[in-house]
């Protein structure tokens, strides 16, 4: 198995746990407060990982363009998390998580359009199934 596939599978497992654990933490507080607490922990762990795993040298390699794009990514991540936490505070995690995973289709379209990544029939079929799943979830 390629290393990136293993990382993606591990990420998937932790992401699945995150939503359920967070729902317990939001029992007595708003989604925004819960997210603020979570983000402090994320901040500490991510910085520790970066400094221990890569050392300070990797930060010296950052150029202006990389910093700008990573900062924009930070803004979009923050907005995603804010609305996700508000959604799981009010709604069922099972449905919120599935709707949130519609982001896969958005990432796929943008990666083909902007990054010029190739797309296969298998990938398109998977994206269509995700969209179909979103329609089923949204159907009243």
pLDDT tens for residues 33-75?
Answer: 999 999 999 999 999 999 888 777 888 889 999 999 999 999 9
The pLDDT, as a whole number, for residue 110 is 96
Q: Provide DSSP, the chain.
A: --HHHHHHHHHHHHHHHHHHHHHHHTSSS-HHHHHHHHHHHHHHHHHHHHHHHT-THHHHT--HHHHHHHHHHHHHHHHHHHHHHHHHHHS-HHHHHHHHTTHHHHHHHHHHHTS-----HHHHHHHHHHHHHHHHHH--
The pLDDT, as a whole number, for residue 53 is 82
User: What does the block give as tokens for 29?
Assistant: 């507080």
Structure-token match 């990420």, residue found: 11
Residue 134: pLDDT over 90: no
Residue 117: pLDDT over 80: yes
The pLDDT, as a whole number, for residue 139 is 80
88 pLDDT band, cuts 50/70/90, is very high
How many CA atoms, within 13 angstroms, populate the side-chain half-sphere of residue 77?
A: 9
């Amino acid at each position: 198995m390629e290393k990136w596939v293993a990382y993606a599978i591990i990420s998937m497992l932790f992401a699945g746990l995150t939503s359920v654990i967070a729902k317990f933490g939001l029992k007595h507080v708003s989604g925004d407060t819960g997210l603020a607490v979570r983000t402090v922990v994320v901040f500490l762990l991510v910085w520790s990982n970066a400094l221990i795993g890569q050392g300070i040298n990797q930060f010296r390699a950052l150029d202006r363009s990389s910093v700008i794009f990573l900062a924009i990514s930070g803004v979009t991540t923050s907005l995603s998390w804010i609305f996700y936490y508000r959604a799981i505070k009010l709604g069922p995690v099972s449905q919120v998580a599935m709707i949130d995973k519609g982001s896969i289709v958005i990432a796929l379209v943008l990666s083909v359009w902007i990054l010029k990544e190739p797309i296969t029939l298998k990938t398109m079929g998977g994206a269509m199934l995700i969209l179909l799943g979103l329609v089923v979830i949204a159907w009243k």
